[in-house]
Structure 1
Amino acid sequence: MILALLHTSPAHPPVFDALRDACHPGLALRHVVREDLLVRAGESGPDSVADEVRALLEAARRDGADAVLCTCSSIGGVAENLAAAVGLPVLRVDRPMAARAVATGPRITVVATVRSTLAPTVALVEEEAARAGHAVDVRTVFVDGAWACFLAGDRDGYLGRVAAAVDSVTDADAIVLAQASMADAADRARTALPVLSSPRPGLDAAAAACASASGPADKA
């Protein structure tokens, strides 16, 4: 089974390699890192990178991928919407997390360190709530200054700021960490509230999609 991953940060491949080794050792990962897509999505909106994302997805299909996992929340919706056009399962890493948040309770707080991530993540949570037939109250917290720490390679500073923001939330049934880069902040936060991150459930869903896509061929 082959899973292609579309990232917008070079920090992500090691994270998903480690999760694969721990949970899905039979899954081959092919990483594509395009930091410029996040920059352009932030400047001009996610739809501005749709043509290039489609080209990357088509390249993954030609290279034999069984599915693609987009690990960037800012452009995940764009990638997911292109699945039918490219003829390949395309998953956004944060959808399983959003579904779990909706199942946890109606008051959901989305925490993000990149502003362009907030609207797509809120929309995703609301979409999952509508699918489940639940009413939700989604609030947002932007962690000012955290992304500068991330870009500077200050991982401790980045995660510390995120954890502090998480701990400031007191009136939620679930706290959603909008970006894959934020996942380790869940272990640093002291809150008793559920803090949900995307890498592990996202990879689990993508591995299942790969198994489903490759299964018939394996049996042929």
Structure 2
Amino acid sequence: MLTMLHTSPVHVPVFDALRDEEAPGLALRHLVRPELLDRARAQGPDAVRQEVSATLVAAAADGARAALCTCSTLGSVAETAGAALGLPTLRVDRPMAAAAVAAGPRIAVLAALESTLAPTGELLAEEAERAGHAIDVRTVLVPGAWERFEAGDTEGYLAVVDDAARRVRDADVLVLAQASMAPVAGRPGLPVPALASPRPGLRAAAQLAASDTSFSGLRTM
């Protein structure tokens, strides 16, 4: 079983559909914890480290063989907590970041949340170091996007993200920092190739969950 840690319920049907396409038969368990993102935005990601760790402990006890965190703000915290526990845990945007580094040195990052900017930049730097590539990262915060998302105005949210994506120039690749931005990546006519995290993230996490050697029990803390 793969446990999904979300901070919004909108991701549940998205990842169920991706599971059906990428890993039919894989059991998913969705944990939706919006309060974790609220606290991380107010106090920083480290403020929720203990709660994230406790959530992963409970997931393993319920039979999870791996976990996928779909929140880009909490991704690093989740990966670190999972590693300490012995539960393979992946942040959804890591495969996307690796693909972005491979695409070229000039990387533009589009984000709806300011709290995402630093974690995404750090992730890209990690993947660039792993690949031995030099990169130049430029970040763009989309004004008003998150307010639309929180209000349930998905169409309006994607419209402002799409508009911002079409203004990006002088980049080899565009990284859509929030998983919820994924529909924009498939739209025609974008001036820069855009990458989204849900599909490659789910694919990589499914491989973790399917591995016979991926999980050998929780480590003691």
- Structure-2 change in CA distance of 1:159 and 1:189 (3 Å): farther
Contact 1:66 1:214 in 2 (8 A): no
- What residue in structure 2 maps to residue 37 of structure 1? 36
Aligned residues with identical type, % of pairs = 62
- What residue in structure 2 maps to residue 91 of structure 1? 90
What is the identity, as a one-letter code, of the residue corresponding to 1:49?
V
For residue 23 of structure 1, report the CA deviation from its aligned partner.
1.5
For residue 188 of structure 1, report the CA deviation from its aligned partner.
3.4
Measured on the aligned residues, the alpha-carbon RMSD in Å equals: 1.4
- What residue in structure 2 maps to residue 195 of structure 1? 194
- What residue in structure 2 maps to residue 183 of structure 1? 182
Deviations 1:39-96 (A, max 9, x none): 1111111000000000000000000001000000000000001123212100000000
- What residue in structure 1 maps to residue 55 of structure 2? 56
- What residue in structure 2 maps to residue 72 of structure 1? 71
Question: 4+ residue stretches of structure 1 with deviation over 2 A?
Answer: 187-190, 213-217
- What residue in structure 1 maps to residue 99 of structure 2? 100
What is the identity, as a one-letter code, of the residue corresponding to 2:205?
A
Q: TM-score, normalised by structure 1?
A: 0.95
- What residue in structure 1 maps to residue 21 of structure 2? 22
- Structure-2 change in CA distance of 1:162 and 1:65 (3 Å): same
Q: Secondary structure at the match of 2:17?
A: helix
For residue 192 of structure 1, report the CA deviation from its aligned partner.
3.6
Q: Secondary structure at the match of 1:26?
A: coil
Contact 2:88 2:214 in 1 (8 A): no
- What residue in structure 2 maps to residue 124 of structure 1? 123
Deviations 1:98-121 (A, max 9, x none): 000000000001100011011100
Contact 2:176 2:197 in 1 (8 A): yes
- Unaligned runs of 5+ residues in structure 2 are 217-221
Q: What is the aligned length?
A: 216
Contact 1:163 1:189 in 2 (8 A): no
For residue 211 of structure 1, report the CA deviation from its aligned partner.
1.2
Distance in 1, matches of 2:72 and 2:214, equals 28
- Structure-2 change in CA distance of 1:195 and 1:188 (3 Å): same
- Unaligned runs of 5+ residues in structure 1 are none
**Are positions 1:141 and 2:132 aligned together?**
no
